[in-house]
């Protein structure tokens, strides 16, 4: 429950910060991409670029997570094989060298 309350406060803080930023920067900026030009409000440009950065970060984190999951799967298989080998070696009778 505390986690959700903290999450709500963080979302409200970010929202209020965005509102204050938008109110204090009412200007328009021109974004020139080699083939076209856009006129955006500064606050909208900030939100778009922050969103694009967040998506890129989530994509990178997702790739790393998938790699870790694949490695974990391989390690679990190797552990099962090692446990099976140990259990088969334990069940074998011991032979003393005479």
Model pTM score: 0.60
3-class DSSP state for residue 36? strand
Over 70: is that where the pLDDT of 27 sits? Answer: yes
Q: Where are the alpha helices (DSSP H) in 1-98?
A: 2-24, 42-91
In the structure, how many helices (H) and strands (E) does the chain have? 2, 2
Q: How far apart are CA 53 and CA 75, in angstroms?
A: 33
**pLDDT tens, 47-87?**
888 889 999 999 999 999 999 999 999 999 999 999 999 99
For the chain, what is the radius of gyration of the CA atoms?
28
pLDDT of residue 97: 62
């Amino acid at each position: 429950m505390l986690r959700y309350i903290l999450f709500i406060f963080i979302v409200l803080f970010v929202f209020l910060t965005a509102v204050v930023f938008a109110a204090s920067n009412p200007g328009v900026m021109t974004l020139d991409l080699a083939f076209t030009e856009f006129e955006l409000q500064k606050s909208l440009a900030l939100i778009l670029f922050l969103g694009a950065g967040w998506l890129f970060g989530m994509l990178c984190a997702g790739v790393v997570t998938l790699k870790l999951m694949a490695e974990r799967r391989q390690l679990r298989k190797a552990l099962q094989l090692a446990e099976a080998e140990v259990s088969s070696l334990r069940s074998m009778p011991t032979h003393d060298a005479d």
